[in-house]
Amino acid sequence: MPLKFVSYISSQSRVMTKQSIEDFLFQVRDKNKHLAITGILLLIQGKFVQYIEGPAEEIDKVYESISKDKRHTEMIMLDSGSLTERQFKDWSMAYKEVDDKQIKEIVGKEDLHLEDVFLNDKDIKNHPVLTVLYDFVKTLSS
């Protein structure tokens, strides 16, 4: 079965409590383990940025159900493609809430103006959010 990855950005519908995030992650990790899906989910200033990878068929199905999930809106696919090797072998879903201080350290400014992403998708690959995502990818996979 060929491997595939997808990444997207979305807006959280409402603030989730610590407990509801824990419950949500428990469910997601359980299902991902079952389907051999791995990846990372970041929560940055009310936006989710997620990268998932796994068997192409499962990724398509899970992406479809994620896109219908009421816990977020304004979902925009950032990138997708085939993979020869996983980036997140050991993570059924790594999760990180990125605070303003970390954003500043990584991209050099406090406010990312994430809304810009929705207006300017030509530049999507150079957007600071992806810089943050790939920074974590590198940290976790090195």
Ligand X SMILES: Cc1cc2nc3c(=O)[nH]c(=O)nc-3n(C[C@H](O)[C@H](O)[C@H](O)COP(=O)(O)O)c2cc1C
Residues that bind ligand X (CB under 6 A): 28, 31-32, 37, 41, 48, 50, 52, 62, 65-66, 69, 71-72, 93
Shortest distance in whole angstroms from residue 108 CB to ligand X: 26
Strand order in the sheet with 94-98: 72-83, 3-12, 47-55, 38-44, 94-98
Cα distance between residue 4 and residue 62, in whole Å = 12
Residue 67 corresponds to which tokens in the numbers above? Answer: 């896109």
Cα four-point dihedral sign 58, 1, 83, 79: negative
Nearer to ligand X, 66 or 112 (CB): 66
Nearer to ligand X, 52 or 103 (CB): 52
Nearer to ligand X, 54 or 128 (CB): 54
Comparing every residue's Cβ against ligand X, the nearest one is 69
With H, G, I as helix, E, B as strand and everything else as coil, classify residue 53: strand
Shortest distance in whole angstroms from residue 128 CB to ligand X: 19
